[in-house]
Amino acid sequence: MERIVIAGGGIMGSCIAYYLALAGAASAVTVLEPDPTYEFAATPRAVGGIRLQHALRENVEMSLYGDQVYSAFAEHVRGGKVEFDPQFRRRGYLYQVRGPAGIAALEANVRLQRELGVEVDILDVVELRRRYPSFRFADVDCAALSPADGQVDPYAALMGFRKAAEGLGIAYLKDRLAGLELSGGLVRQARLASGVSLPVDTLINVANCWAPEICAMVGMSVPIEPVRRQQFYFLAQQQIEPIPAMRHMDGLSVRTHQDGYIVGATNPRAGFDWEMAHEVFENVLWPQLAEQCGAFEAIKLKGGWLGHYDMNRLDGNPIIDRFDKVPNFILAAGFSGHGLMHAPAVGRAVKELILDGGFRSIDLSRLSWRRVVEGQPLADDGPTA
């Protein structure tokens, strides 16, 4: 049987392993994960949104499948004792725009989303203020509301897939990929940090922000960089009406979390940075929040956390493809903040690529390596987080 090595045991690697195991290939698969605590992994540091609003058909379709899986997790994810419940909840998502270009893009996006079966409505400012009277919507012309968008516990989702994969026979090694040995234009051996070498028929690189280092081992240069994303958790002294996750086209996003709210900020500079920049909350985010909602003028910052997107600088969309120069090397990275919501669909798709000879359920061929080589971005003119 084909020997498959997956570099990266986070949500993406675990989903791929799970779908390969469902197809009967568990004995052929080894997952490499250097840190089983996932201390610095992206998924446990995510906010857990399962967003259906996108401007790219593939992203909508992947989110719809993710919604299907996460909303009925126990039915879809089976194998051994799967004791992790991602606690899927439908919270809704409100994407706000302004100006003629913003309105036109939103209307086009909504047409696509409705065509694919997403429940979504366009609300004008009058209706927005009626539904959410605590908010001013001063810099908004209209917004798209998708009430079925979900929220999950990211760590529980990750561990649910990992434990299911292990229950079906997938082997996880606490080790790091240190190098690859090639012969005849193919990966033949994976050299691990422990000194062990594994024979390889297919190598899958799902190492998130660390994926470029592995790509370099086969001469593949990818435009993927780590970009810090901070989340600040705060309490409001004044109670307001229930709200969906809210995002403005200019970037400000706020959603409910536990007894309060979280607001996020992305650092446009690339590179790993594990220090919280609290001045961003004090000097930038809080004033913006107070401008949008009077109840957010008096708030108490309770904490926060940060993680990193594996940002694809070409277009913000993933690369899911074989490397043409080393065809048994598969890359699935550059999800730019969408990894959790799209992981089930990608797991199924990569399984199809390996065992079925190509994509079968969702056609992801446009998310190819070729578009990177040719410098042809596949833009998603919609919400980015």
pLDDT (tens place) for every residue of the chain, 385 residues total:
689 999 999 999 999 999 999 999 999 999 999 999 999 999 999 999 999 999 999 999 999 999 999 999 999 998 766 678 999 999 999 999 999 999 999 999 999 999 999 999 999 999 999 999 999 999 999 999 999 999 999 999 999 999 999 999 999 999 999 999 999 999 999 999 999 999 999 999 999 999 999 999 999 999 999 999 999 999 999 999 999 999 999 889 999 999 999 999 887 778 898 989 999 999 999 999 999 999 999 999 999 999 999 999 999 999 999 999 999 999 999 999 999 999 999 999 999 999 999 999 999 999 999 999 999 999 876 665 5
Rounded Cα distance, 380 and 316, in Å = 8
Cα dihedral across residues 320, 323, 327, 333: positive or negative:
negative
The whole-number pLDDT of residue 80 equals 64
Residues 344 and 248 grouped into a single domain: no
Instruction: Please indicate, yes or no, if residue 382 is contained in any of the structural domains.
Output: no
Residues 273 and 362 grouped into a single domain: no
Query: Which residue from 331, 363, 336 is spatially nearest to 349, judged by alpha carbons?
Result: 363
| Residue range of the domain that includes 203 | 4-85+153-223+314-373
The whole-number pLDDT of residue 1 equals 66
Is the CB of residue 34 less than 8 Å from the CB of residue 86?
no
Instruction: Please indicate, yes or no, if residue 378 is contained in any of the structural domains.
Output: no
The whole-number pLDDT of residue 150 equals 96
The whole-number pLDDT of residue 384 equals 59
The whole-number pLDDT of residue 88 equals 97
How far CA 5 is from CA of 29, 190, 201, in Å, comes to: 6, 8, 8
Residues 166 and 217 grouped into a single domain: yes
Residues 68 and 79 grouped into a single domain: yes
Query: Which residue from 134, 145, 135 is spatially nearest to 92, judged by alpha carbons?
Result: 145
Structure tokens at 185: 């234009």
Residues 329 and 275 grouped into a single domain: no
Beta bridge partners of 300: 235
What total of structural domains would you count in the chain?
2
Give the relative orientation of helices 339-351 and 11-22 as an angle to the nearest 10 degrees: 30
Rounded Cα distance, 220 and 238, in Å = 53
Instruction: Please indicate, yes or no, if residue 380 is contained in any of the structural domains.
Output: no
Q: Return the H-helix or E-strand segment holding 129.
A: helix 125-131
The whole-number pLDDT of residue 269 equals 76
Question: Which DSSP letter does residue 293 get?
Answer: B
Is the CB of residue 127 less than 8 Å from the CB of residue 43?
no
